[in-house]
Amino acid sequence: MAKAIESQLVTQSLNKVLWKFSNKCKFSVNKENVPLNKTTDPFFNTKSEKKNKNALKKFSIFRYNPLTNKRPRMQTFEIDIDKCGPMVLDVLIKIKDEIDSTLSFRRSCREGICGSCAMNIDGKNGLACLTEVNKNKNETTEIHPLPNLYILKDLVPDLTNFYNQYKSIDPWLKRKTKKAEGQKEFYQSIEDRKKLDGLYECILCASCSTSCPSYWWNPDSYLGPAALMQSYRWVVDSRDEYTEERLMEMNDTMKLYRCHGIMNCTVCCPKGLDPAKAIKNMKKMVQENFSADKVKLHSNYLKEKMKKEV
């Protein structure tokens, strides 16, 4: 009898007080079986709900599929940037994995080494893996492929012409003298090696060339900042023995002198290089090395080259 009265008193007390605490744990008595929410649950975390809602940021991405007859368009995605990596590439991967698997883009190393993920982000060329997401959730981030290139699909540009131009400069060490017996390397001094700093680090991402208006206007004849900087890299290499021939090749009104010093290439280079300075130095070397006699020699060189190509 005493136990029954005690049990009844406990039940009445629990009905009067919704929550009881024991050892920092909370227990509830919901006699009407009403689902607990932000109106019925006094401990509902409204801050977390607002946080998740406010964390959504819009990304407007260029879409194009050559297999359909639809025109290119911009598609908007809303991403919770608090549940995503800090870089633009992390956002693109999240969209492809969780929202739209048809989104196409290039990527590989995610460390700014391969140059695969070059694209135009908020009006500036760069690598998606090195570009941080703008944390301002009121601003929409726009992502386009590299400008002035044919587009294969979405954010994937056709780099065929870019690589052909790079190939045309013979980007390898060229020697006239053969190695001595047993020789495995061509040595150079520390001073000569330092001349290559700021040149060899180029990863051929094409960010600089596709940001250059001169390259937009003359993509078939002007080599562009990337190829010209790499050409200069071999011109100043003390181990290379074709310096004069390389300068002859560059002594062209279109290949080299279409550069007008606009400096877009230097501003957008994700590796912090200075293609404009390299092109300026190349022009200076060409002017210093081509007297009237060498201009004549250059014309003969071009004639011989044309005969070989035929």
Strands 124-127 and 25-28: unpaired
67 and 148 housed in the same domain: yes
Q: Using the Cα atoms of residue 275, residue 278, residue 282 and residue 288 in order, give the sign of their dihedral.
A: positive
CATH number at residue 227: 1.10.1060.10
Q: Taking a C-beta distance cutoff of 8 angstroms, is the pair 231, 245 a contact?
A: no
Q: What is the pTM of this model?
A: 0.75
Number of domains in the chain: 2
199 and 286 housed in the same domain: yes
234 and 305 housed in the same domain: yes
Going residue by residue through the chain, which has 310 residues, state the pLDDT in tens, using 9 for 90 and above. Answer: 565 666 666 566 555 544 444 344 444 444 444 544 555 555 555 544 454 556 799 999 999 999 998 999 999 999 999 999 999 999 999 999 999 999 999 999 999 999 999 999 999 999 999 999 999 999 999 999 999 999 999 999 999 999 999 999 999 999 998 888 888 888 999 999 999 999 999 999 999 999 999 999 999 999 999 999 999 999 999 999 999 999 999 988 899 999 999 999 999 999 999 999 999 999 999 988 876 555 555 556 656 766 666 5
298 and 207 housed in the same domain: yes
Give per-residue burial for 120-158: e unless 16+ CB within 10 Å, then b: bbeeebbbbbbbebbeeeeeebbbbbbbebebbbbbbbe
CATH number at residue 73: 3.10.20.30
165 and 129 housed in the same domain: no
165 and 281 housed in the same domain: yes
Where do we find the tokens 């693109």? 92
Model pLDDT for residues 160-210, shown as the tens digit of each residue: 999 999 999 999 999 998 888 888 888 999 999 999 999 999 999 999 999
Q: Taking a C-beta distance cutoff of 8 angstroms, is the pair 162, 168 a contact?
A: no
165 and 285 housed in the same domain: yes
* Full domain range(s) for residue 92: 54-157
152 and 69 housed in the same domain: yes
